[in-house]
Amino acid sequence: MTDFAEARRMMVEGQVRTCDVTDLRVLAAMRDVPRERFVPADRQAVAYLDRDIEVPRQTKPGTGKGPRCLLKPAVLAKLIQSAQVDESSRVLDVGCATGYSSAVLSRLASDVVALEEDRELAALANETLAALGCRNVTVVTGALARGAPAYAPFDVILLNGSTETVPEELIRQLKDGGRLACVLGHSPMGKATVYRSASGHATGQPVFDAAAPLLPGFAKPAESVF
C-alpha cells in the first residue's frame, strides 16, 4: 500500500523545492493537500510522480476538447509562487478540473473561484473540496476562456494549462495591479508567463520554461487560406 504522506513529502522535497520554489507557504500547502484525492482511484499510485496527471472528462469524443490534467507539481507551485498569492488575494482558478489546484490555493488566498467547464468534473471538484474543508472555494461552471466576470475583479488568475494566445478577456478581469499566471505556448516547450495589470494595460514577463496541456478555448485561431 502506498504511503501517501511520505510520497507527498518526497514530492515537495524532490520536485518542488529543487525547482526554486522557496515560498514557505506554497511548500506547506503542497505538503498539506492530498493530491491522491483528486485523481481516479486507478491512478492514485502515480499521483505524486513528476508529470501531469490526466483526469477523465465527460465530454463526448470528437468535440476537440482534449484531455484535462492536473499540472506537474513543480509547474503548479512555481506558477503560484510567481503570481504572488497572499492571504488577501481573491483568486480565479481557470480549469480547476477535479479541484487540486483550488485546494492548494485555498491554503494561501482569502477566497478562490474555481472555474471548470465540464459539469461532472466541477461536481467532483465541489464534492472533494467540501470533504477536505476548503470552505473559501466557490466552484462555478462555464467556458474557461470567458473567465468568471460575475465574480471579478481578481487579484490573481491562474491558468491550469497552456494558452497559445494572450488571454485578453481574462486579463480584463484583473484588479489594477493584479497578476495572471499561465504557460504561454504549446508543448513540447512553452514559457510560464506572468501578466501584470496596470491602469488598464497588461505586460507579460516570462519567468521559466514549462510545458502544459493546452486548455480548451485557448488555441490560436486557425489562419485563413485563400
Q: Specify the residue for cell string 475583479.
A: 153
pTM over 0.75: yes
Per-residue pLDDT of the chain (226 residues; tens, 9 = 90+): 689 999 999 999 999 999 999 999 999 999 999 999 999 888 999 999 999 999 876 554 444 455 689 999 999 999 999 999 999 999 999 999 999 999 999 999 999 999 999 999 999 999 999 999 999 999 999 999 999 999 999 999 999 999 999 999 999 999 999 999 999 997 677 999 999 999 878 999 999 999 999 999 999 887 645 4
CATH of domain 4-210: 3.40.50.150
Phi, psi (rounded to 5 degrees) for 88: -100, 0
What is the pairing mode between strands 90-94 and 154-163? parallel
Cα separation, 196 vs 223, in Å, equals 29
CA-closest candidate to residue 29, choices 19, 18, 21: 21
